[in-house]
Amino acid sequence: MDSALPLSEGEPSARARYTARRMAPLHTALRTAQKLRTGARGALLWGYEQRLAREVRAHGKLPRHLGLILDGNRRFARASGMQRELGHSFGADKAHEVLQWCLELGIPAATIWVLSTDNTSRDPKEIAHILTLLEREARLLAVDPRIHQNRVRVRAIGQHSDFPPNVLAALRELERSTEEYSGMRLNIAVGYGGREEIVDATRAYLCKRAREGATLEQVAGELTPEHIGAHLYAADQPDPDFIIRTSGEIRLSGFMLWQSVYSEYYFCDVYWPGFRRVDFLRALRDFQDRERRFGK
């Protein structure tokens, strides 16, 4: 999807500009990695990462739906001596990087938790920065060649009614541009809370039955977990079977409370912007070594 503005001869399209922007950090990272490999420690880490990648691919068992709690942006910024808003910027870039890792392995679905309903009470300046990033990243994803080449369907889940119109427009355009795709499913949980999702699902079911003429007593008598589950934000996707949280915090904080009843969890000490491919592969290998019991 190119820019709506007319282009003069030789002027790059929006997609080309996007690709150049995204490739610049990748080229920098590659040069850094090449320098690291010249040292013994760098060579060992590189070799370990490659071995992990081979093991994960050889095993074959991967999550059908991966949940990612992106935690530690502000602490990363503080530890790095930078303004806290920059931590969110680095976190947004990391999310693009992790999307690439998921595509390379063929993970069918992923939900990334960007902003919780609890976080919306933070400093208004910080929230404004996060929403600005959200709009920018939504517009970039809408022209991301990886999204269209891999036919990734993107959906924003959560409560968005209080978002600025420009942010809502960017999210709707992203969803519209990918709604026909049948490849990987990518859910961006923003303005999201697990309790709020359950309330919204229950309300949607009650309203549906009311339109059908059912009484409250009838609805109460027939209500099952399946009725609620069918009205969750991403009801057409499997429950997450593996959830990774960064930053060392050992809790879900409300992430997909209904769907995570049988999920496997992995808590990683590194802050989200510092989450490396080797950390990602370690988590997946840990998942592959587990025997899922589903509460039995």
The residues spanned by each domain of the chain are 63-288
Asked if 119 is an active-site residue, the reply is yes
d(CA 194, CA 101): 26
With a CB cutoff of 8 Å and minimum separation 6, the contacts of 69 are 113, 243, 244, 245, 246, 252, 253, 255
Mark the binding-site residues, compressed into ranges: 71-76, 84, 88, 116-118, 122, 245, 251-253, 264
pLDDT of 122 reads 86
Q: Give the architecture-level CATH label for domain 63-288.
A: 3-Layer(aba) Sandwich (3.40)
pLDDT of 121 reads 82
Mark the binding-site residues for substrate, compressed into ranges: 72-76, 84, 88, 116-118, 122, 245, 251-253
Q: Which of 2, 93, 119, 162 is catalytic?
A: 119
pLDDT of 105 reads 97
- CB pairs under 8 A, 24+ apart, for 50-58? 52/278, 52/281, 52/282, 52/285, 53/281, 55/285, 56/105, 56/281, 56/284, 56/285, 56/288, 57/105
**Tens of pLDDT, residues 202-238:** 999 999 999 999 999 999 999 999 999 999 999 999 9
Q: Is 230 exposed, middle or buried (0-12, 13-18, 19+ CB in 10 A)?
A: middle
Q: Which of 2, 71, 150, 239 is catalytic?
A: 71
Mark the binding-site residues for Mg(2+), compressed into ranges: 71, 264
**Tens of pLDDT, residues 14-45:** 555 555 555 455 445 545 555 555 566 777 88
Q: Is 41 exposed, middle or buried (0-12, 13-18, 19+ CB in 10 A)?
A: exposed
Query: Is residue 187 helix, strand or coil?
Result: strand
pLDDT of 35 reads 55
pLDDT tens sequence for the chain (296 residues): 333 333 334 445 555 555 555 545 544 554 555 555 556 677 788 899 999 999 999 999 999 999 999 999 999 999 999 998 999 999 999 999 999 999 999 999 999 999 999 888 889 999 999 999 999 999 999 999 999 999 999 999 999 999 999 999 999 999 999 999 999 999 999 999 999 999 999 999 999 999 999 999 999 999 999 999 999 999 999 999 999 999 999 999 999 999 999 999 999 999 999 999 999 999 999 999 998 887 76
Return the structure tokens found at 161: 């009614």
d(CA 254, CA 193): 6
pTM for the structure as a whole: 0.85
